[in-house]
Amino acid sequence: MELYLDLLSQPCRSVFMFAKLLKIPFEFKLVDLSAGHQYSEEFGKTSMIRKVPVMKDGNFVLTESVAILQYLVQKHPGPDHWYPADLQRRARVNEYLSWQHTNLRPHGSKVFLLKHFYPLMMDAEAPPEKMDAAMEDLTKSVELLESFFLQNRPFIAGDQISVADLVAIVEIMQPVRSGVDMFEGRPKLSAWRDAVKKEVGEKLFAEAHDALQDIGGSMAKVDKAYLALLKPHFMKVFA
């Protein structure tokens, strides 16, 4: 199995951690997003969508992180808690996986992009009003994660960790690594984070998030021609 990944990407980190946790043998294929490798001719032969993660299992190619996670857990069954057989507990997992695509993930990403890509493209810091609006959306999503999806449970689907928690933790860590601490003043959310890290293991958790430690260095090596290619897309995001 080949996994095409860049650990700067939240979906890639959840797939990476899950494959490691289930001890699924795979070859790590780096697709360096900062260098525009997803637009290369070689990667285009693997995926016309030109986004990561991508899984190649023999001749079978699959895109979209949620679909990949569901494929992995069904092909390589591990402990039931990752994707519960119980109808209602699995529905809780699927509920979060369906919600996050238009909520926590894009809101966290927008804060990340405003802090790191906006200055590269515009030669100026993001306007305060844009950052404030992005932070308002992110805060609402984080509050829903805490008050609705977690409630008084240790994990999203109940007493045990699931793939929903892996997806959620990488999404909330994206703005955190940008200096926006969404856990401050939220003891319940902080307890959930610590429980997820314990279940994943400190070493694997750190390995998955190491790419975010030197985000400044990653931004510094972004190719200018690649930035010009991306600018029309990001102008829509920044608008």
CATH of the domain at 21: 3.40.30.10
Do 97 and 168 share a structural domain?
Answer: yes
Do 67 and 90 share a structural domain?
Answer: no
Contacts from 119-124 at CB under 8 Å and sequence distance 24+?
120/219, 120/222, 120/227, 121/227, 121/230, 121/231, 121/234, 122/238
- What pLDDT digit, counting tens, does each position of 58-114 carry? 999 999 999 999 999 999 988 999 999 999 999 999 999 999 999 999 999 889 888
Do 113 and 171 share a structural domain?
Answer: yes
Do 146 and 72 share a structural domain?
Answer: no
Last residue of a domain, one of 36, 53, 79: 79
- What pLDDT digit, counting tens, does each position of 26-61 carry? 999 999 887 778 888 889 999 999 899 999 999 999
pLDDT band at 14; cut points 50, 70, 90: very high
Last residue of a domain, one of 79, 113, 135: 79
Q: What is the DSSP letter of 155?
A: B
Do 217 and 100 share a structural domain?
Answer: yes
The pair of three-digit structure tokens given for residue 105, joined into one six-digit string: 């993930």
Do 154 and 39 share a structural domain?
Answer: no
Return the minimum-mean-pLDDT range out of 64-68, 127-131, 171-175, 224-228: 224-228
Residue among 217, 15, 11 nearest 116 (CA): 217
The pLDDT, as a whole number, for residue 36 is 79
| Angle, CA of 163, 98 and 174, to the nearest 5° | 65
Residue among 99, 215, 195, 95 nearest 153 (CA): 195
Strands 54-57 and 60-63, sheet pairing: antiparallel
Do 170 and 226 share a structural domain?
Answer: yes
- The three-state secondary structure class of 177 is coil
Do 111 and 35 share a structural domain?
Answer: no
Calculate mean pLDDT across residues 2-9.
94
The pLDDT, as a whole number, for residue 197 is 96
Last residue of a domain, one of 20, 49, 79: 79
CB atoms near residue 32 (< 10 Å): 16
**Max Cα distance, the chain (Å):** 52
What's the domain count of the chain? 2
What is the domain range of residue 219?
Answer: 82-238
Do 93 and 70 share a structural domain?
Answer: no
Tokens 């994660």 sit at which residue? 145
The enclosing domain of 136 has a CATH number of 1.20.1050.10
CB atoms near residue 147 (< 10 Å): 11
Do 202 and 96 share a structural domain?
Answer: yes
Do 226 and 136 share a structural domain?
Answer: yes
Do 233 and 199 share a structural domain?
Answer: yes
